[in-house]
Amino acid sequence: MQKEIDMFDVQKIRKDFPILNREVNGKPLVYFDNAATSQTPQVVIDAIVDYYSNYNANIHRGVHTLSQEATDAYEIARKKVQQHFNAAHSHEIILTSGTTHSINIVATGFSSLLTKGDEIIVSALEHHSNIVPWQMLCERTGAVLKVIPMNEDGELLMDAYDQLLSEKTKLVFTNHISNALGTINPIEEIIEKAHHIGAAVLIDGAQSCPHIKPDVQKLDVDFYVASAHKLCGPTGVGLLYGKEEWLNKLPPYQGGGEMIDQVTFEKTTYAGLPHKFEAGTPNICGGIAFGVALDYMNSIGFDNIATYENELLAYGTKKLLEIEGLKIYGTSKQKTSVISFNVGDIHPYDIGSIVDKLGVAVRTGHHCAQPIMDFYKIPGTIRASFSFYNTKEEIDILVEAIKKAKMMLT
């Protein structure tokens, strides 16, 4: 591993990202909002331009050359996603508009599979997109939502999870990594225990996929969801992986073109997987660019990425804790390169606004994870999230910016 990281040239990698050359408020951009969206390398930008410049056409429907070229490129991208996540079949990969869309497909589909009194389990560490659709499902079906609690370190209480599981449990869903705290959840244990009592499992991989290369067959997970824009790809595209047997059980999410087999005014029959869940014209360019983004990240290597980002996490944690009055939320032993913190009683928004004037982009607020903030009894946090194209020198700039903000606000 050390030999690999010695070959990791962050300055060379940074040249792949045009936006890292710009200034913000007269200062070089320091971009630490990667948990919200990653930046886009030139090779992905080029793929988008190439599509619209050379073979822009609708897919799966035309006999003309442009349509065939676009269809081939889109399906090659699906195959790349399948291989990256190690799905057994390419038709187990549904290309969606993103993680939220993917979760809603499953939540809506389970409306026909649940009855009053059934139970579903969510973790206390979830993004709103992995809470609200399930609450809506419970309202439709009469199912009961149970919550795995967390501790002060931002870790799930697995003993409590054991107590929640029962023969009534039909579905368990949790994120792989918390977007607000960076906690890496023990999803292998969560999946195994759920399967032991016959429940299905959905894992929200939006925050894990930039740092970890999931193997859905090894995990034996029933559903896994993610977004391309966290993986150096474009916005508006993502994936739903589902085991073939589960995708066949779920009804279509939307009706329209592409998801049909035969249509008459008397009866419509539906297409097979994956098209059953892909009604209408998809984000063709986005899907193709998603495949290019995966190629790019795999060329760097996820082991290299994880090792380097862990160095940034350790360095950033040490440097930030040297600031008097700074408290970090989320101190799990297993976490990724996200540091969520506050400085004394200063509102996070005020610090975020000042450091932005100094060219540093961080996220402030509850990060679409309001129950976590309620647990800590705080309005929100400042979140610095690092990617493989960030540097320790940028962390030093962040630290000095926070010190300046603190001085101005106290």
Residues 6+ apart with CB under 8 A from 190: 161, 172, 174, 201
Beta-sheet strand order (sheet of 200-204): 93-96, 238-242, 223-227, 200-204, 169-175, 119-123, 144-148
Phi, psi of 328 (to 5 degrees): -95, 135
CA angle 18, 48, 295 (to 5 degrees): 75
Active site residue 285: no
* ω into 149 cis (within 30 of 0): no
Phi, psi of 327 (to 5 degrees): -125, 130
Q: How far apart are CA 117 and CA 110, in angstroms?
A: 14
Neighbours of 347 (CB within 10 A): 16
Look up tokens 């010695």; give the residue: 6
| Residues involved in catalysis | 368
